[in-house]
Structure 1
Amino acid sequence: MLSETVDRQTGSIRASGRLTLLGADLLRGTAESLHGNGHLRVVLDLRDVRDADDAGLDVLRALGRELAARGGELVVRHAPATV
């Protein structure tokens, strides 16, 4: 299970737990909300993610491309080695 802590003032998300497709969808929705509320740069901190599957990582990669296409940026910090 994945949980997130959101700082709406800085446009950052800190995730913890296991990153799966479902958890990545949660992060995607939060990141898109932050971007839609004016944050061109969304920071995703994965330092407390203990495990990540390929489907979840694929969602984050796609999210980065989508935000870039809309003039934004997804910055992933402390990504698992497979990102």
Structure 2
Amino acid sequence: MLRETIDRRTGSIRASGRLTLLGADLLRGTAESLHEDGHVRVVLDLRDVRDADAAGLDLLRGLGQEFAARGGELVVRHAPVTV
């Protein structure tokens, strides 16, 4: 199960638990919401994610590219390795 803590003031998300494709989609929605609220730079902190599957990490990589294409930035910190 993936949990997220959102700081709308700073435009950051801190995730914990296991990152799957479903969890990454949850993070995508939150990041998109922050971006739509005016945050050009969204920070996603994965330091408390204990493991991740390749599909979830791929989704986040794609999201970073989407943000860049729109002039934004998705910063992913402490990305785990896949299992």
Is TM > 0.5 for Structure 1 vs Structure 2?
A: yes
Percent identical: 85
Matched pairs, number: 82
1:53 is aligned to 53
Amino acid at match of 2:50: R
When normalised by structure 2's length, the TM-score is: 0.96
Deviation at 1:80?
1.1
- SS of match in other structure, 2:56: helix
Which runs of 5 or more structure 2 residues have no equivalent in the other structure?
none
> Are 2:80 and 1:75 equivalent residues in the alignment?
no
Q: What is the rounded CA distance, in whole Å, between the counterparts of 2:38 and 2:57 in structure 1?
A: 25
| RMSD of aligned Cα (Å) | 0.7
Deviation at 1:63?
0.3
- SS of match in other structure, 1:79: coil
- Runs of 4+ with >4 A deviation: none
1:15 is aligned to 15
Which runs of 5 or more structure 1 residues have no equivalent in the other structure?
none
